[in-house]
Amino acid sequence: MPELKLFVSPGSCARVPTIALEEVGVPFDTELVRTAINQQKSPEYLKVNPKGKVPVLVVDGVPMSENVAILSWINRTFPDANLLPKAADDFEACQQIGDLAFFSGTVHPFVTRIAMPMKFISDVDLSFDIVRSKGKEDMQPVMAMINDRLANQPWWYGDDWSVVDGYLFWVWWRITGVGFDPAPFPHIQDHISRIQERPSVQRAMAREAANVEILKAEGNYRAPK
Ligand SMILES: N[C@@H](CCC(=O)N[C@@H](CS)C(=O)NCC(=O)O)C(=O)O
């Protein structure tokens, strides 16, 4: 069994591999990165991930960054957990990588505009709302497409849950937490209610809640707003 340590920050996209590892049921440690004080840019952390981002999964002492890679590795290493459907061939396997890349490379940047507009601008007072509003506008067709996909099936791939559903859960939690209107997307809302019943998701959220308490006790907690 590999020794696993996941670098995380509450509310971040590190939630997705946390859910994946909880779903597998393998023992793993998490290490808290304090983004409120930019610990992800500290010299120590940059040795782990020169990109200065979470998540990082350290496998037997060797770090791996990027959700697409981390989730693919967990899926391949623990195939019995069915984090992704069993692919019939290379083409289907690559389509699944495409789904993870869609969330990482297309959806996530819109999330950042909505949830962290200050990352795009230096003049916070003048431009904060402009960036956030444009992010919300650009997110509409993306969420409409996902809402349509979920109209007649409970999960992204049909009847069976996958880690792509975990990705959607994080995205939705993050954007609705800062004012993205959920009303036009009832099938996504139903999906979120379903996924919150999943024990792996509840365990991942409990890990995050414990880390939030640590940050609050230290004075390093920054609530989403
Ligand atoms: N492409 C990366 C994106 C990772 C990412 O943007 N992580 C955010 C948290 S959701 C982060 O670490 N932000 C801190 C920063 O940019 O300083 C992935 O999919 O893993």
What are the pLDDT digits (tens) for 107-150?
999 999 999 988 887 766 667 788 999 999 999 999 999 999 99
Among protein residues, the one whose CA lies closest to atom 18 of ligand 1: 66
pTM score, two decimals? 0.97
What is the model's pLDDT at position 162?
98
User: What's the rounded Cα separation, in Å, for the pair 40 and 48?
Assistant: 9
Architecture in CATH of 90-198: Up-down Bundle (1.20)
Query: What's the gap in Å between 173 CA and the centre of ligand 1?
Result: 16
Which of 1, 145, 137 lies closest to 77, judged by CA?
1
Query: What's the gap in Å between 154 CA and the centre of ligand 1?
Result: 28
CATH of 4-82+200-218, one of 3.90.1150.10, 3.40.120.10, 3.40.30.10, 2.30.42.10: 3.40.30.10
Q: Which atom of ligand 1 is nearest to 41's Cα?
A: 17
What are the pLDDT digits (tens) for 87-97?
999 999 999 99
Question: Does residue 114 contact residue 136 with C-beta atoms inside 8 Å?
Answer: yes
Mean pLDDT, the chain, integer: 96
Domain residue extents for the chain: 4-82+200-218, 90-198
User: What's the rounded Cα separation, in Å, for the pair 157 and 121?
Assistant: 37
CA dihedral 109, 31, 36, 63 (to 10 degrees): -50
User: What's the rounded Cα separation, in Å, for the pair 100 and 13?
Assistant: 12
